[in-house]
Each structure stands twice: as structure tokens, then as C-alpha cells.
Amino acid sequence: MSMAPPTDPSKSVAGIGPERVGVLLVNLGTPDTADTRGVRVYLKEFLSDPRVIENQGLVWKLVLNGIILRTRPSRKARDYRKIWNTEKNESPLATITRAQSEKLAADIAGDRVVVDWAMRYGNPSISSRVNALTAQGCDRLLVMPLYPQYSAATSATVCDEVFRVLASMRAQPTLRVTPPYYDDAAYVEALAVSIEAHLKGLSFQPDVIVASFHGMPKKYVEKGDPYERQCMATVEALRKRLNLEPAKLLLTFQSRFGFDEWLQPYTDKTMERLAKDGVRRVAVVTPGFAADCLETLEEIAQENAEIFQHHGGEQFSFIPCLNDSEVGMDMIRQLVLRELQGWI
């Protein structure tokens, strides 16, 4: 008679132990170091994900390894250094996601609930944190992908990675995932309050507010990704809440990458057009990002501010993401507690 193999206690807790609930906040990922090597390692992992670049065929492998990973990392490392948290020697995305996790823990963690955070690419990895949670006795796991609008390139790949980690476990924790929250009243209210508070503190009032979302190839949406629709729904809800006409709160898409057509209108082209059309004051909000990162702090607050001013614009103000602000944390807590119902 063959014996069952011994179970690895760090990977197997269901049905034994203190039966805790783990809450894992997950954002995209970021390099460990703001140098060419660190950015290359990060980009290689990111851009090898078929949820991000769907055609991972030979041509892409040649382009990625032969061109992109030889040229982009040094340029992007320079950009990362412009926004790096030098005190903690880490990227702002890491600093802010940790702060969100710590503040949520201060509110809801205890004997029954453990809160942690992870990155889909880079560190801390999803596998290291899921294993740490199960080792602490969590036999139930709530994963919160920190993306208000669902896309396969972001939310789905978080789940893919969690499922891969669980696939190696004999006794898996029971899993829940928070749904996209693009039209959730708590999210729309938090955005509106943060926009209003920011505008109150300005020495000018913007002629136009631009809501800029991370873009994606148009063909992903044509194949059925609901991302664009959810971005539109967020902006529509914000217009209603702030009582703004469509021309006063625009929706644009940023961060174009590669040669395919991406979702439009593009943020950089819109900045240029607005300035050329005589708009002198703009404010930009980035509701698709749960935390400030390279794409907001460098691409919007620096690059797009320069584009606007270069073409004749005068005042440009970037409205920070919800981050670990009071209203932002209220929202995360509400969404998490709602999904924990019946568990705690």
C-alpha cells in the first residue's frame, strides 16, 4: 500500500488551524530598482504575459528580446528615476500599495483577518504573499485587483496568477475576488470628493477636466474586453455627480505602446488640441489608477503638462489618484467588507 506524500504545511491549511481570512490587495507591478537592469527584468516579465501582449509568437519574441528589451529599459529607467521614492528606495506604486494595505489592516485586521499586498509582476510576488497568508492560517482568501475597470490585461491576469499558485496546493484556500468597481457609488463618490477638494485648493479653475485612462489596443476591445465601456461608465457617472457637460469632462486614453491602433482619443493629442483650440487651463484626473505610478506622476504630471504648455496652454494641474487618502481608504474598506460578508 502506498503512503500519501506528506503535505507541506506552508502550502496546505484548509480544514485545520485557526481558519483565518486573508485579504490580498494586488496592483500591477514595478521594477525593484530604477536602473536599466531592474527595468529590463520587470519589462521582460510584464511583456511576456499573453494577457498583455496576446500574440506571443516568434515575431514578438524577436521584437521583445532583439529591440524592446535592448532599448526601452534605459529610457524608462530615466523616467522612473524622476519619480522614485529615494527615501525608501522603491517606486511610488510600491510605497502607496503598501500604505493602502497597512491602513486597511489597521481598520479590519485582527485575530480573524490578515491583510497583505502583492504585485502581479515583480515583488512582492503573488505566490510569496499567498503562501505567507496560508502559512498564517488563512483558509479563505479575498483577492482585490486594484483596478476599478476590468480588463483581461490587468484584472484577469491577477486571477490567472492566483489560480496558478493555488494549482500547486493540495489543500487550497477558498477564493473570492472583488468585482470591478467602475460604477460603484463608493468609488464615484470618492473620486468626486477628491476632485472637488483638489480644485478648491487651486489658484485657478480649469476650463476643462480631462479624465485620462491607461489605453489598450483597440482590437482587444473588439474581441470583447469590457474595459472601454467601463471607462465610459465611470466618466458618465462622474459627469452626473459633478454636474459637468461632456465637453467639460473629457475621456482620453494614455500610454500608447507599439504600432497597433489603441483606444482613442489619445491623451497627448488631446492636450495639444485643447491648447491649440485656446483652452488655457486644464486639470487632469486618472480614475483608472488606484495609486500614483510612472503613468500618472511622469507621463501625465510631467510629460503631458509639457505638451499642453508647449502648445500654448498656461495652467495644468494633475489631480492625484485616490491612493491611501481618507476617501480612497473608505472606499477600499467598503468594497472589501462587502465581499467579506458571510466570512467574518
Ligand X SMILES: C=CC1=C(C)c2cc3[nH]c(cc4nc(cc5[nH]c(cc1n2)c(C)c5CCC(=O)O)C(CCC(=O)O)=C4C)c(C)c3C=C
CA atoms of 306 and 140, how far apart (whole Å): 48
Gap between the terminal Cα atoms of the chain: 42
Cα radius of gyration rounded to whole Å, the chain: 21
Regarding 127 and contact with Fe ion (CB under 5 A), the answer is no
CA atoms of 232 and 216, how far apart (whole Å): 14
Min CB(52)–Fe ion separation in Å = 8
Min CB(77)–ligand X separation in Å = 10
Regarding 191 and contact with ligand X (CB under 6 A), the answer is no
Min CB(31)–Fe ion separation in Å = 13
Regarding 320 and contact with ligand X (CB under 6 A), the answer is no
Report residue 259 as a C-alpha cell: 504600432
Regarding 292 and contact with Fe ion (CB under 5 A), the answer is no
Collect all residues with Cβ–Cβ distance below 8 Å to 192 and sequence separation of at least 6: 238, 241, 242
For ligand X, which residue of 20, 76, 103, 140 counts as binding (CB under 6 A)? Answer: 76
Min CB(53)–ligand X separation in Å = 6
Regarding 299 and contact with Fe ion (CB under 5 A), the answer is yes
CA atoms of 114 and 104, how far apart (whole Å): 10
Binds 332: which of Fe ion, ligand X, none (CB < 5-8 Å by kind): none
CA atoms of 291 and 88, how far apart (whole Å): 17
Strand 138-145 versus strand 208-214 pairing type = unpaired
One symbol per residue from 242 to 271: x for binding Fe ion (CB under 5 A), - otherwise; what is it? -------------x----------------
Min CB(238)–ligand X separation in Å = 17
Min CB(278)–ligand X separation in Å = 31
For 34-38, the CB contacts below 8 A with 24+ separation are 34/77, 34/80, 34/81, 34/84, 34/91, 35/77, 36/73, 36/74, 36/77, 37/73, 38/77
Which alpha helices (H) appear in the chain, and where do they start and end?
Answer: 36-47, 58-63, 69-83, 92-108, 126-135, 157-167, 185-200, 218-222, 227-242, 267-276, 305-310, 326-339
One symbol per residue from 4 to 43: x for binding ligand X (CB under 6 A), - otherwise; what is it? ------------------------x-x------------x
One symbol per residue from 204 to 233: x for binding ligand X (CB under 6 A), - otherwise; what is it? ----------x-x----------x------
Residue 295 known to bind ligand? yes
- Binding positions for Fe(2+): 214, 295
Q: Which residues are annotated as a binding site?
A: 214, 295
Q: Which residues bind ligand X (CB under 6 A)?
A: 28, 30, 43, 52-53, 72, 76, 91, 93, 147, 151, 153-154, 214, 216, 227, 255, 257, 288-289, 293-295
